[in-house]
Amino acid sequence: MNWTDFDTWIVVVGILTAVACALPGCFLVLRKMSMMGDAISHAVLPGIAIGFLLTHSRASVPMFVGAALTGILTTLFTQWVSRFGRVDRGAAMGIVFTTLFAIGLILIVQAADHVHLDPGCVLYGAMELAPLDTVALLGTDVPRAALSIGAVLLANLAIIVALFKEFRISSFDPSLSDTLGFSSNFLHYLLMTMVAVTTVAAFEAVGSIIVIAMLIVPPATALLLTRRLVPMLVIASAVGVLSAFLGHLLAITVPTWLGFDSTSTSGTMAATTGFLFLLAWLLSPGQGLVIQRLRSSPVTDETVAHRQGGND
Amino acid sequence: MGGQRRRWSWRFGRNAPPLLLAMLPVLLLSACADGAGASPSRTTRSWPASHDVVDVLLLKNYNTRLVVLSTAALGIAAGLVGAFLLLRKRSLMGDALAHSTLPGIAIAFVVMVSLGGDGKSLPGLVAGAAVAGVLGTLVMLAIRNTTLLRDDVAMGFVLSVFFGLGVALLGMIQAMPQASAAGLESFIYGKAASMVRQDFYLIAGVALCAALAAILLFKEFTLLCFDESFASTEGWPVLALDILLLGLVTAVTVIGLQSVGLILIIAFLITPPAAARFWTDRLSVMTALAAAFGAISGWFGASVSALFPRLPAGAIIVAVTSAIFLASMVFAPNRGILARHLRQRSLKLKVDRQHLLRAAFELLEAKSADSRQVANLPFSQAELLAKRTWTPPQLDRILRKETANGHLGRTGSGDLRLTEAGFGEAARITRNHRLWEIYLVTHADIAPSHVDRDADMIEHVLEAELVRQLETHLQDHSGWIPSPHRIPPSPESGSSPT
């Protein structure tokens, strides 16, 4: 195994992505809207296509703006369909994102005359290629992806720190938040905008599968380990960091054991965070399967003796 | 002012979203038109001749017939099982399942290649996808049943982690020297236009199984959807039924994936049932409607795509289901947005009208020397305005409506005066209001000082039958009824309250 600067940058980009996603992800999971990241990452296709058709260039700024706007529209449409049509929110999400994706696909097929816009590329991303596209900063070459995702991470962190109390109240008790004067609707749309921008920024740089995984799985893992919000945010970020590092390590080591080159870091990162979730599911001190089994095991003479001994 | 602002948002804020939603199909149509007619230099973009349209819609061409029948059959199957998923609030299950099949496909490929076979043999890949899908379902159920995490997290977990695993596996086997794995991931993006007879039999078989299961187990699935805990106390095998239902979803998803693609199968499972829900409150009707909507969109979408080769079949079918959904959401009787809006509007009009007449009557009561002999005197608009918290424009609008109804007229000096019919109606409405107030005071222990607002919540829907019952219940009050509470005087009239 050869660890190079290249690998370091991939891990750095991975860590930035993971934390940038895990922070708003915690609130998504608490609000029972985990699938929003998935919906947004599919639904931005028309935004990308329109951004491209309007400017006829593959410059990322118009596409980014188009995608971010469509992401926000997705959350808006979902909210409207579920509120005005009284449709279950999951179903509303599914209807909106499949419709937008279909529109995007039709638009892209029209655009494909001029250039090859690969929907597969939008969905998979190319994390391994991220360090190749660099920008000179303070004398070193920094990957553009690291800069854009770093900026998103800082913005997310700033918003969550600044409005922490408001987010906490509106996540657990929207009506209390409204009574206290923080519009839960405004906070909802702020969170959704954060998710949309994060999703778009991250999948432009590293692929959407990581975004979906990092929005949901680290917060879910954290929720298995704690029932408090601040520890949840910290643990979720830590799980994200760990899976970025371990994920890349796996991507370059495991395939060589089996005689292959290496594989997609996006995929292994998602799989690693899944593995960490599995560990927490089994071994969580409060809610783990093992502790549940131990608690429900029949009381024998031995355990009684042990407990009495402990009480003396 | 506050009232006016609220009213503005009521008029525009609540209508804007449906209006914007209604613009979606326009956008869609313009996209299609762009594809169909924008550049006349291309022969593929010209409009098809009318006999082509008829041929395709009537399934005369063998290839088209295959594709159209397959997608329609898939639409039926997905609509049937999707209806139950929707009611269990698990619509996105199809999404999660469809993504979770990827590692199964990769592993099936590796296994088939290492056994010396063709890595891309369809039955093998379908089997791999099905195994991974079932595994994903079981993990979802396990997370839901053994942790405090909810369905959405379980679905998101399976979706992202399984798909990630699949991406990682595919990344490895791309480099396999034995066989080219290129295009393997396109398995889950479908190939609707290039279906063969085998695909049709597979889809038709699954659709038949889904239909049979939905009919035979209709009662059990209904019970599962509406009252899971009751089902388990009655001794039904809830977990087994749940697994069976999800098994059907897995079958439909896996079959649909390789034939029509990921996004379409997700839309097929969610959108037709959600559209059907608007038209009925009966599950049997809803399931049948969902199947019909699925079949129609499959037939119509595949036909359009056959006529315009540049329009991808999957996307067009999704667009058709969405259009059906949108039309249902807006126009369905009873549950549709338009019907609900009209209902609310007419109720609001009625309430406004009754408020006006009661305010006028109470004004006249205060003006009359003997409150038992209310005279139909003229009164000014300013006096009326002071009776309730309405804004001048609001009052103007209601006054215009009531004048048009023949309940109100103007005297020569510009004052308002109730007509004969309006006076009778006002007396009746005031009487109903007070009857209900007295009922609440005597039988529901509501303090006389609070009863006005409580009565306001129901009096507008009191029916004649109910009023008669109230009268017999409160026998003392058969004639004129005084208000049980103090009516605040209008500042302009200056007379003493009743």
CA separation for the pair A251, B86 (Å, rounded): 38
Tell me the Ramachandran region of residue B117: left when phi exceeds 0, alpha when psi lies from -120 to 50, beta otherwise.
Answer: beta
What are A265's two structure tokens?
């870091």
Quick one: pLDDT at residue A242? 94
pLDDT band at A128 (very low <50, low <70, confident <90, very high): low
Residue B43 clears pLDDT 50, i.e. is over it: no
Burial group, residue B65, by CB count within 10 angstroms (0-12, 13-18, 19+):
middle
Q: Where are the beta strands (DSSP E) in A128-229?
A: 134-137, 140-143
Residue A276 clears pLDDT 90, i.e. is over it: yes
Quick one: pLDDT at residue B15? 43
Partner-chain residue, chosen from A91, A209, A270, that has the shortest CB–CB distance to B274:
A91
pTM, two decimal places? 0.80
What are B207's two structure tokens?
């659709």
Q: Do A106 and B173 touch (CB under 8 A)?
A: no
| Residue A23 contacts B where some CB pair is shorter than 8 Å | no
Residue B494 clears pLDDT 70, i.e. is over it: no
Cβ-based contacts of A215 with chain B (< 8 Å): 156
Cβ-based contacts of B79 with chain A (< 8 Å): none
Quick one: pLDDT at residue B189? 60
* Residues whose CB falls within 8 Å of the CB of residue A71, separated by 6 or more in sequence, listed in order: A40, A43, A44, A47, A195, A196, A197, A199, A200
Cβ-based contacts of B95 with chain A (< 8 Å): 35, 38, 94
In SS3 terms, A208-274 reads as HHHHHHHHHHHHHHHHHHCCCHHHHHHHHHHHHHHHHHHHHHHHHHHHHHCCCCCCCHHHHHHHHHH
Mean pLDDT of chain B: 78
Residues in chain B: 498
Q: Of the ranges A59-68, A101-110, B123-132, B247-256, which one carries the lowest mean pLDDT score? A: A59-68
Buried b or exposed e, range A67-83, using 16+ CB within 10 angstroms: bbbbbbbbbbbbbbbbe
Quick one: pLDDT at residue B310? 74
Q: Evaluate whether A85 touches B22 at the Cβ level (below 8 Å).
A: no
Q: Nearest 5°: CA angle at B411, between B410 and B417?
A: 60
Tell me the pairing of strands A140-143 and B416-418: unpaired
Residue B169 clears pLDDT 90, i.e. is over it: no
| Residue B423 contacts A where some CB pair is shorter than 8 Å | no
Q: Evaluate whether B245 touches B253 at the Cβ level (below 8 Å).
A: no
Q: Closest-CA residue in chain A for B87?
A: A88
Coil, strand or helix at A142: strand
- Mean pLDDT of the A108-123 span: 56
Quick one: pLDDT at residue B2? 40
Q: What percent of chain B has pLDDT over 70?
A: 76
Listed as own residue / partner, the contacts of A153-156 with beta carbons closer than 8 Å and 24 or more positions apart are A153/A16, A153/A19, A153/A20, A153/A23, A155/A194, A155/A197, A156/A20, A156/A23, A156/A24, A156/A194, A156/A198
Q: Do A34 and B153 touch (CB under 8 A)?
A: yes
Bridge partners, B408 (sequence order)? B418
Q: Which residues 241-280 in chain A show a CB within 8 A of chain B? A: 251, 255, 258, 260-264, 266-271, 273-274, 277
Q: Of the ranges A46-55, A108-117, A205-214, B440-449, which one carries the lowest mean pLDDT score? A: A108-117
Quick one: pLDDT at residue B34? 41
CA separation for the pair A4, A2 (Å, rounded): 6
- Taking only the tens place, the pLDDT of each residue in B76-99 is 999 999 999 999 888 888 889 888
* A261 vs B327, more confident: B327
Q: Closest-CA residue in chain A for B151?
A: A32
* A25 vs B312, more confident: A25
Instruction: Give the highest mean pLDDT range of B12-21, B141-150, B305-314.
Output: B141-150
Q: Of the ranges A115-119, B219-223, B271-275, which one carries the lowest mean pLDDT score? A: A115-119
DSSP summary character for residue A137: E
Which residue has tokens 């041929």? B55
- Mean pLDDT of the A229-255 span: 90
- Taking only the tens place, the pLDDT of each residue in B187-209 is 666 555 566 777 788 888 888 88
- Taking only the tens place, the pLDDT of each residue in A72-90 is 899 999 989 988 888 888 8
- Taking only the tens place, the pLDDT of each residue in B334-373 is 889 999 999 999 888 888 888 888 888 888 887 776 666 7
Q: What percent of chain B has pLDDT over 90?
A: 17
Quick one: pLDDT at residue A222? 95
Q: Which residues 77-116 in chain B show a CB within 8 A of chain A? A: 86, 89-92, 94-95
Quick one: pLDDT at residue B495? 41
- Mean pLDDT of the B4-13 span: 39
Quick one: pLDDT at residue B431? 81
Q: Provide DSSP, B362-427.
A: HHHHHHSSSTTS-----B-HHHHHHHTT--HHHHHHHHHHHHHTTSEEE-TTS-EEE-HHHHHHHH
Q: Which residues 47-66 in chain B show a CB within 8 A of chain A? A: none
Bridge partners, B425 (sequence order)? none
Cβ-based contacts of A264 with chain B (< 8 Å): 167-168, 170-171
